[in-house]
């Protein structure tokens, strides 16, 4: 459970902030980007980022993940640029319900990954 507890607290805080600040519909706030990352791909990216951050947070000496720049790694892995990523996150975050579903999908994947470690 400890592996993802730091992420889960950040996730909860981010979700609360998004829900409080962005009660309006996304169409009123943010136009749809030309190169929008689909929800599933964004969910996978957020999952990967959470796992990398959790591994780095363990402070294990000589851990190769400590040298990884998570965001840059993910941008290369998913073959997108940082502007596309930023605009996509901004677009989805403007729709609190949709962003909540994406975050819940990430949490579900993290919980599934963690389940075998906590029988």
In a domain, residue 26? The reply is no
Q: Give average pLDDT by consecutive 10-residue segment, the chain, 119 residues.
A: 55 63 59 94 92 77 69 90 92 91 94 76
Angle, CA 51 vertex, CA 45 and CA 32 arms, to 5° = 20
Q: Which domain holds residue 81?
A: 34-114
Q: Quote the number of domains for the chain.
A: 1
- pLDDT of res. 51: 86
Q: Please answer whether residues 10 and 57 qualify as being in contact, where contact means their C-beta atoms are separated by less than 8 angstroms.
A: no
In a domain, residue 24? The reply is no
- pLDDT of res. 34: 93
In a domain, residue 87? The reply is yes
- pLDDT of res. 1: 44
**For 1-119, where are the alpha helices, taking DSSP H only?**
2-21, 26-29, 39-57, 70-77, 82-93, 96-114
In a domain, residue 25? The reply is no
Helix (H) or strand (E) holding 31: none
């Amino acid at each position: 459970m400890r592996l993802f507890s730091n992420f889960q607290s950040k996730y909860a805080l981010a979700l609360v902030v998004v829900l409080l600040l962005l009660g309006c519909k996304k169409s009123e706030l943010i136009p749809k980007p030309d190169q929008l990352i689909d929800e599933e791909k964004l969910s996978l990216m957020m999952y990967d980022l959470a796992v990398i951050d959790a591994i780095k947070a363990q402070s294990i000496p000589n851990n190769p993940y400590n040298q990884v720049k998570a965001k840059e790694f993910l941008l290369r892995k998913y073959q997108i640029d940082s502007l596309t990523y930023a605009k996509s996150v901004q677009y989805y975050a403007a729709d609190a319900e949709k962003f909540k579903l994406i975050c819940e999908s990430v949490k579900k994947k993290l919980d599934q990954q963690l389940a075998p470690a906590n029988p």
